[in-house]
Structure 1
Amino acid sequence: MAILGLLGGMSWESTAHYYAQINRLVRDARGGLHSAPILLHSVDFAAIAALQRSGDWAQAAQILGQAAQGLAAAGAGALVICTNTMHKVAAPIAEAAGIPLLHIVDPTIAALQAAGVGRVALLGTRFTMEDDFYRARLVAAGFEVCVPAAAARDDIHRVIFDELCQGRVLAASRDRYLDIIAALRDDGAEAVIMGCTEIAMLLDGVSAALPLFDTTALHAAAAAAWLLNDGAD
């Protein structure tokens, strides 16, 4: 089987879900004691988060590009960036690695298309919701994309960094997210992209006003499929 490179740690809370889900899918498909051949480089998220706050995306891309380069040198045949936000610099990271990148938005697009969704709401960090790198890929695929109001975006971002990335899952924050989703439904959204890899920690198994598309689970499934296909496109 081919070897998959995971660029993780952003945060390690969600990277652990990637590792578990990919291995579970490979085991279920192959049976017995089979597991996923994975190389993981887990960065110190504090350094990356500081660069995000300061807007130094070039330096963040350089750090992650070097890590991805190391994964490729160690034998990884494809790269998974285990975070939505850092796909803002996916292109230079993939260029540094020199191996195919399994982009997180692509399996999400496929799932939305299969479900017949037209207008989708995007939840994530402030960078994901407000910058164009994520929405542009969705719009190019034919979706109308909406985001919550400014105050709601502030709350979503705060919960991600101050709670979920630190392993704290609070009922009050879950209720706030559900209220935001209900407002998005009232605004005409047909579904919600959980466009931060930690959001599933808060909303997994919860009944929401709209269908939820979990980018972590979808990305992990695409990664497992790549492995099960022995790295073939």
Structure 2
Amino acid sequence: MQTIGLVGGMSWESSAAYYRALNLGTRERQGGLASPRLVMSTVDFAELTALEEAERWDQIGTLLADAARSVERGGADFLLLCTTTFHKVADQVADAVDIPLLHLGDVVADAAKDAGLSTIGVIGTTVAMSDGFLAGHFADRGLETVVPDPADHDWINTAIYEELVHGHVLDRTRRRVVEVIDQLWDRGAEGVLLGCTEIELLIGQSDVDLPVLPATTLHVAAALDRALGA
């Protein structure tokens, strides 16, 4: 079994989701008392969000690279960033360590292609939806993306940062997100990426007709495949 390195704290709800899913997945695959070998380093989410608001992405990259190096020193064989948004600096993090980074974008692209999808909708933070780093990554893998109308970006972002990262899952927010996903379907999306760990607390496949690509669930499954030699 390989040791999985986790850079977390973005938010702690996201880190908890990764930790729980990795443990449950290992138990399901191996049975008994089996649990994964993990090394985790977490960052101060308040510090990162302040830097994000100031658009100081180089400094964010430095902080996450430092966390990645501590995970590497702890004995990790490969690395996961427990976040979607901060994959914006994934290349900077990957360059800082000698262990491989399992990039969420690659995992999602593989899942989309396996499902026969060529155009995916993206629901996530404002940065994930509007910055273009995800769209560019997917384009390099032959996938097109569509995002919600810019008028919807702020309230989705607010729901993530003011509700979901605090563990508040509200039906009214779920209903509105479902409406946005339906609009993405109308605009040509063949599936929808739940591009924020906390969004998976809110939306599941049973909530929508469009095929769902749950980023964290897929990321965890890929990590377990690698760690357990599946």
Does structure 1 retain, via aligned residues, the 8 Å contact 2:205–2:212?
no
Pairing of 1:63-102 with structure 2 (within 5 A): 63-102=63-102
For structure 2, which runs of at least 5 residues remain unmatched after alignment?
none
Pairing of 1:135-150 with structure 2 (within 5 A): 135-150=135-150
Q: Which residue of 2 aligns with 1:200?
A: 200
Equivalent-residue separation in structure 2 for 1:53 and 1:205 (angstroms) = 32
Pairing of 1:46-195 with structure 2 (within 5 A): 46-195=46-195
Shift of 1:166: 1.3
RMSD: 1.3
C-alpha distance after superposition, 1:136-191 (max 9, x if no partner): 11111111211110111122111111111111111111011011011111112111
Q: Is residue 2:212 matched to residue 1:218?
A: no
C-alpha distance after superposition, 1:67-118 (max 9, x if no partner): 1101101111111000001110011111212210000111211111111112
Shift of 1:206: 3.5
Q: Which residue of 2 aligns with 1:19?
A: 19
Does structure 2 retain, via aligned residues, the 8 Å contact 1:185–1:209?
no
SS at match of 2:121: strand
For structure 1, which runs of at least 5 residues remain unmatched after alignment?
none
- Alignment size in residue pairs: 230
Shift of 1:27: 1.6
The amino acid of 2:198's aligned partner reads E
Q: Which residue of 2 aligns with 1:6?
A: 6
TM-score normalised by length of structure 1:
0.95
SS at match of 2:35: coil
Equivalent-residue separation in structure 2 for 1:109 and 1:63 (angstroms) = 27
The amino acid of 1:219's aligned partner reads H
Moved over 3 A (4+): none
The amino acid of 1:18's aligned partner reads Y
Equivalent-residue separation in structure 2 for 1:42 and 1:68 (angstroms) = 10
Equivalent-residue separation in structure 2 for 1:21 and 1:135 (angstroms) = 26
Percent identity, aligned pairs only, is 40
Equivalent-residue separation in structure 1 for 2:204 and 2:39 (angstroms) = 27
TM-score normalised by length of structure 2:
0.96
The amino acid of 1:42's aligned partner reads T
- Greater relative contact order structure (CA < 8 Å, 6+ sep): 1
Equivalent-residue separation in structure 2 for 1:227 and 1:189 (angstroms) = 32
